[in-house]
Amino acid sequence: MESVRKKRRKARVDETLCVACGCCVKVCPLGAIAVVNGLYARVDTARCVGCGKCAKECPASVIEVQEVEV
Amino acid sequence: MKKTNQKHWYDYLWIASLLYLILGFFNILFAWLGILCFFIPLIISIVRGNKAYCNRYCGRGQLFSLIGGRFGLSRKRDVPRWMKSKAFRYGFLIFFFAMFFQMLWVTGLVFAGAADLRQVVTLLWTFKLPWHWAYHGTLIAPWMAQFAFGFYSVMLTSTVLGLITMILFKPRSWCVYCPMGTMTQLICKARHAGEKNSDKSDFVTEK
């Protein structure tokens, strides 16, 4: 039996342009995003369901929801 | 699972930000309180090495997300690419600093007696607004009043800029080029320089 590759939607932060304001953290319903050491936001892909709330909120628009294979 | 939509005391700090602007309209000396918005984020970033101020406590950011988000006074468009570039953010920080030191210089002139107190609030570093009704007397030294007028000018200018970009772009687009935010992020960069991409976030996901 071959393993089935599933596609899932996950948020991805462009860390080079993130201003670490934390707006995404406030809107994430699953607590799946955090600001690391005041540098940038990082997504916990295990928890993220790709709802896109963070991407919509991000003032710098540096979060994208992408389809990834898991 | 942890409750993530719970409100905390610090979610109401937008009231303090709003009150600050209102109080400064009636008595300019309240402008002195604004130095809290300078020192608290700096101290947090230096001591703790994070941006908890931006992330949790910034009342100005909350005010923008309330007016732009909840009240819908924002087009909610993406900010232009140049606005989030390092060049613009660092450039604006330097410009803001230069204007800040110019303000301190004027305060120094009044302190030294080389200039008279000017009861004006300068908006956007250009427009002199009459503000004499907020100055009530001679009990405090003129330089202290001058600093208050200068500091209130800084706060009002940044609020107006923030409101403009709030309407044009996302509600909290001020955060993208906020000089305090840029500065604290730079401090965090310096603090965590050399740490190899640590996954440990000392600011946890709970709000």
Structure tokens at B207: 């709000």
At A33, the amino acid letter reads: I
Architecture of the domain whose range is A7-69: 2-Layer Sandwich (3.30)
What is the tens place of the pLDDT at every residue in B28-43? 999 999 999 999 999 9
User: How far apart (Å, rounded) are the C-alpha atoms in residues B132 and B155?
Assistant: 17
Phi-psi region of B118 (alpha: psi -120 to 50; beta: other; left: phi over 0): beta
CB within 8 A of B134, min separation 6: which ones?
Answer: B24, B25, B26, B27, B28, B119
Determine if residue A22 is left, alpha or beta; phi over 0 gives left, psi from -120 to 50 gives alpha, anything else beta: left
pLDDT at site A6: 83
Quick check: B184 and A36 CB within 8 A?
Answer: no
Residue span of the structural domain in which B26 resides: 10-191
B72 near B164, Cβ under 8 Å?
no
Q: Indicate if the pLDDT at residue B100 is higher than 60.
A: yes
- Measured between CA atoms, the residue of chain B closest to residue A33 is B205
Position B202 in a domain:
no
Q: Phi first, then psi: what are they for B67, rounded to 5°?
A: -70, -45
B205 within some domain: no
Break chain A down into helix, strand, coil percent, rounded to 5.
15, 30, 55
Using alpha carbons only, give the angle B40, A17, B163 rounded to the nearest 5 degrees.
Answer: 60
Whether residue B169 is contained in a domain is answered as yes
B55-99 pLDDT, tens digit per residue, is 999 999 999 999 999 999 999 999 999 999 999 999 999 999 999
For residue B182, the model assigns a pLDDT of 97
Q: Other C-beta atoms within 10 Å of B82: how many?
A: 8
Using a CB-CB cut-off of 8 Å, the residues of chain B touching A60 are 79, 84, 173, 175-176
| pLDDT tens for chain A, residues 1 to 70 | 566 778 899 999 999 999 999 999 999 999 999 999 999 999 999 999 999 999 999 999 999 999 998 7
**Is there a domain that residue B157 lies in?**
yes
**Domain spans of chain A?**
7-69
Taking a contact as any Cβ pair under 8 Å apart, which residues of chain A between 11 and 30 contact chain B? 17, 19-23, 25-26, 28-30
What is this model's ipTM?
A: 0.89
Taking only the tens place, the pLDDT of each residue in B141-193 is 999 999 999 999 999 999 999 999 999 999 999 999 999 999 999 999 999 99
Q: Give me the number of domains chain B comprises.
A: 1
Collapsing DSSP to helix, strand or coil, B129 comes out as strand
